[in-house]
A and B are shown apart, each in its own frame.
Chain A
Amino acid sequence: MQDLKKVDDIAKKYAEMNTPLIYILKDVQKEFGYLSQPILTQVAQVTDIPLSEIYGVATFYSLFTTKPKGKHIVRCCNNAPCFVNGSKEVLEKIKEYLGIDTGETTEDALFTLEFTSCLGLCAVAPVMMVDDEVYGNLTPEKAVAILKDYKMKGSSNA
């Protein structure tokens, strides 16, 4: 069972800040992995903001998720500068390697594949982000090699 009291501690941390909801949700998501309904309900109670409004915020921003995700989040950019440098082929290869479509999580819960909008790394396009790390000048083969590394690390930790 999740320790919802942690939500209270996080909210307290931001007591001095004006309108800190987005910061609270970020920290809460870091703590619990995703923003489930019981968690959001708790946030609503602590902050005295209507649950509907909090749900609205949690589903508006792409860095928030209301569903559980894999251990590693792979974010591929497919905006125009990456697109004209072959991001489509990179993405197709990643999908094939992971066996999932964008928005899905692998069965072993190791990877979630997502689109991201431009990461501002267009001079080294095409690019992707794995968690907080960025990778540029990708080719389909290079992208798969990077993910293989994560997979190896993932299984050795387990």
Chain B
Amino acid sequence: MHRIHILIAMDSHTLAQGARAVKDALLKDLSLAGLSDEVKVVETGSLGIYKKGVVLVVFPDNIYYTGVTVENVAEIVSEHIVKGRIVEKLKYSKAPGTEVKVQEKAPRFGKQLRVVLRNAGIIDPESIEEYIAHNGYEALGVALTEKKPNDILEQVKASDLQGRGGAFFPTGVKWGFAAREKAEQKYIICNADEGEPGTFKDRLILEGDPHAIIEGMALAGYAVGASKGFIYIRGEYHMSIARINRSIEQARENGLLGEKIFDTDFSFDIEVREGAGAYICGEETALIESIEGKRGEPRDKPPFPPSEGLWGKPTIVNNVETLANIPQIILNGPEWLQKLGTEASPGTKVFTLVGNINNPGLIEVPMGITLREIIYDIGEGIPQGNGFLLAQLGGTTGGILTAEQLDLPLDTDNLRKIGAGLGSGALLVVDDTHNVVEVVKNFVEFFNHESCGKCTLCREGTGRLYELLDKLVSGQGVLKDVDLIERLAKTMMTGAFCGLGQAAPVPILGCLKYFRQEFEKMVNTEQKSVSAVV
């Protein structure tokens, strides 16, 4: 029996700050002190503390240490573990997890409310036993042994869960389209091709609670009559790929994937497919093309994937976060989800808070929270006392919010009214030390790089927009260029083939709407008179 458990967050963020070396040093020092039998070091997912270096939690004391390096591991072992004296200089006082001990219901971290992330940083993601101990696979068991596929479908419909990939299409409705198709083979695809700049929620869900995705997919398969699932993950997400592969193996070993699950007639298995580096593959039909071994270019719609998707068969494509909600809805009932969030947008939303912010990271909050609460309460404000310039919500294709919208409750209806959306959940905060035109140029540089090239408007439009913005930034622009940027952006929005080209103009037009004078200030004054003549 272990006297002490040390949880070490092993997610991509802490690994980038040296977590692996710290864990190795910890194991070595514990063994040197003869404590290997008394102290267990457990790798876990993100603990919800970011940019503070390597993070450890010592249980049962519930002490969080941040900024742990190989050099001060020895001190933690000799002082805290051996002598029971807390190493104050490394202790993190604002630990979100201090209330996490009660795990029966969604734990609250201040203004946060954790449903999708309920297990992240609490369980060892590499252990199926720990997931099961936290009600894991209970929803699947109940569904398969006590309910009909249609019951599951109706529950998801009744919950009004909306797709968390960014489009917020009702998940139950989408499932319904595939369920009514008559086909021998149907597919469930988990879209884990997370590529929207500033977004890493799917990555941390996959790294922190991979079994929830597997369970959600199996439930989806049962509801619509699919026996095969695919998880399409970005090739760059090495850790997510390793964890999900291991979890699939564990689920098979435990009879939770494969033939006749829970001794019923339902069979379901999952295969992981890695991407090869293309932002556009997050678009569901481009993703399907990519699994089919082709260039990831979007397809013409209709037919939509629920009627004709992967290899021509009915296919559901759901985002990671959407699927992570499913087991909870089945366990707690659809009304439970609706009690969280707002009427227009039930449930919670996982945001990634990034940019110029003191406390960046992954947060899960009820719908309807305001920007001010997110930035100034949860995010602890903007560094160096700088002012707030703008926020971009939903990734690089997201809408622009300014100081005017700081107190607007964030839900789909309110955002639609101002031409924005929650999108992927990335919330980029930009402080007032930045020039807005340079920021827009940076957005467009991304689109220019990631346009797949299939349609002319997006391929040529992103390139031309980049040239125009570069011209302005380098002091060569004329007043007419600002109008041209606006016209081109509007044309792309109406005429581009897929979501990428249609959404790329959103932040450009948003910035023009609120900061047009900043664009005009960049115009070369010597050439202003020339442009007036032209």
Which residues of A are at the interface with B, using a C-beta cutoff of 8 A? Answer: 18-23, 25-26, 49, 53, 56-57, 60-64, 78-81, 83-85, 115-125, 127, 129, 132, 134-137
Contact = CB atoms under 8 A, between A and B. Distances in A.
Given A22-B274, A84-B356, A124-B16, 13 more contacts: A57-B295, A62-B276, A79-B197, A80-B442, A81-B426, A84-B430, A115-B449, A116-B236, A117-B446, A118-B197, A118-B199, A122-B199, A122-B354
Nearest to A56: B295
B295 A80 contact: no
Contacts of B445: 78
B83 interface: no
B13 A136 contact: yes
Contacts of A64: 276-277
- Give the contact-size bracket for chain B: 35 or more
B203 interface: yes
B16 A83 contact: no
A60 B294 CA distance: 9
A70 to B, nearest CB: 18
A124 B235 contact: no
Nearest to A134: B16
A18 B271 CA distance: 11
B197 A123 contact: no
Most B Cβ at <10 Å: residue of A120, A132, A134: A120
Contact of B396 (A60, A80, A137): A80
Contacts of A123: 13, 50-51, 200, 352-354, 360-362
A120 B12 contact: yes
A18 B449 contact: no
Contacts of A56: 294-295
Nearest to B228: A18
A84 B434 contact: yes
A127 B439 CA distance: 18
A127 B362 CA distance: 17
Query: Which of B51, B197, B362 counts the most A-chain CB atoms under 10 A from its CB?
Result: B197
Contacts of A22: 273-274, 276, 290, 293
Interface in B262-293: 273-279, 290-293
24 contacts: A20-B293, A22-B274, A25-B276, A57-B295, A60-B452, A63-B277, A64-B277, A79-B197, A80-B430, A80-B439, A81-B198, A81-B354, A118-B196, A118-B199, A120-B199, A120-B237, A122-B352, A122-B360, A123-B200, A125-B354, A132-B238, A134-B12, A134-B16, A135-B16
B412 interface: no
Q: Ordered nearest first, which 7 A-B pairs have the shortest CB separation?
A: A120-B200, A62-B277, A21-B293, A123-B50, A61-B276, A136-B16, A79-B197
Contact of A120 (B194, B291, B295): B194
B182 to A, nearest CB: 22
A76 B64 CA distance: 32
Given A26-B276, A62-B277, A122-B200, A53 B12 contact: no
Contacts of B293: 19-22, 49, 57
Contacts of B290: 22
Contacts of B12: 119-121, 134
A78 B294 CA distance: 27
Nearest to B239: A134
In this complex, the member of A20, A81, A125 whose beta carbon has the largest number of chain B beta carbons within 10 angstroms is A81
B15 interface: yes
Contacts of A79: 197-198, 396, 442, 446
Pick the most buried of A21, A22, A122: most chain B CB atoms within 10 A of its CB: A122
A134 B197 CA distance: 16
B355 interface: yes
B154 interface: no
B200 A127 contact: no
Given A85-B356, A120-B203, A61 B277 contact: yes
Contacts of B235: 26, 63
Nearest to B389: A84
A118 B354 CA distance: 12
Contacts of B452: 60
B392 interface: yes
B515 interface: no
Contacts of B195: 117-118
Contacts of B276: 22, 25-26, 61-64
B272 to A, nearest CB: 11
B443 interface: yes
Given A115-B449, A118-B197, A134-B15, A83 B439 contact: yes
Contacts of A117: 195, 197, 277, 279, 446, 449-450
B17 A60 contact: no
Contact of A119 (B236, B311, B443): B236
Contacts of B13: 121, 123-124, 136
A134 B487 CA distance: 40
Nearest to B46: A123
B163 interface: no
